[in-house]
Amino acid sequence: MIHISDDIIIRTLARILVPFIQLYALYVIMHGHYSPGGGFQGGVILGASMVLLLITHGYGETKVRFSERGAVIFSSIGLLIYSGIGTLCLVFFGNFLDYGKLSTLLQVVPAHARSLGILGVELGVGFAVMAVMFSIFFDISTSGELPVDE
């Protein structure tokens, strides 16, 4: 399932669409306050863009941008961002994930600090979801062994 497709139409369409899909996924993450979206949905779309690149161009092209080892690291980074922001609120004498106490660090009013805190947490969730989606698809379709480089 993960080797380069010999149909030129699908290859060209996929390589043109992937940057737009990724930008749309980041838009969905950042605008979680105002329109339907948020961290999980944006992460799923990011993972879907990586899967599209994987099934049309093979593992050689995807490895340059986002390898399988990078997926493992990325999921940990997402979790680190989430619990890191929570612990930062603990440091400033608040509860866990009490974003209002971050206002002294960011020099803004507490309401704005809560908005920025939620944005940061959504970003962490998005990264983790993207990495896990990519990793699940890769492991199931190759059943554990890395594909030979073409």
> Which one, 24 or 94, has the nearer CB to other proteins?
24
* Residue 79 within binding range of other proteins, rule CB under 8 A: no
**62 vs 138: CA distance, rounded Å:** 11
Q: Which residues contact 133 (CB under 8 A, 6 or more apart)?
A: 43, 44, 46, 47, 48, 50, 51
* Residue 63 within binding range of other proteins, rule CB under 8 A: no
> Which one, 10 or 94, has the nearer CB to other proteins?
10
Q: Which residue has the tokens 């209002």?
A: 100
* Residue 27 within binding range of other proteins, rule CB under 8 A: yes
**Applying CB under 8 A, which part among 22-30, 75-83, 86-94, 99-107 lies near other proteins?**
22-30
What DSSP element (H or E) covers 69?
helix 68-91
Binding residues for other proteins, total number by CB under 8 A: 36
**114 vs 103: CA distance, rounded Å:** 8
Binding site for other proteins (CB under 8 A): 1, 5, 7-13, 15-16, 18-24, 26-28, 30-31, 35-37, 41, 45, 48, 51-52, 55-56, 61, 65-66
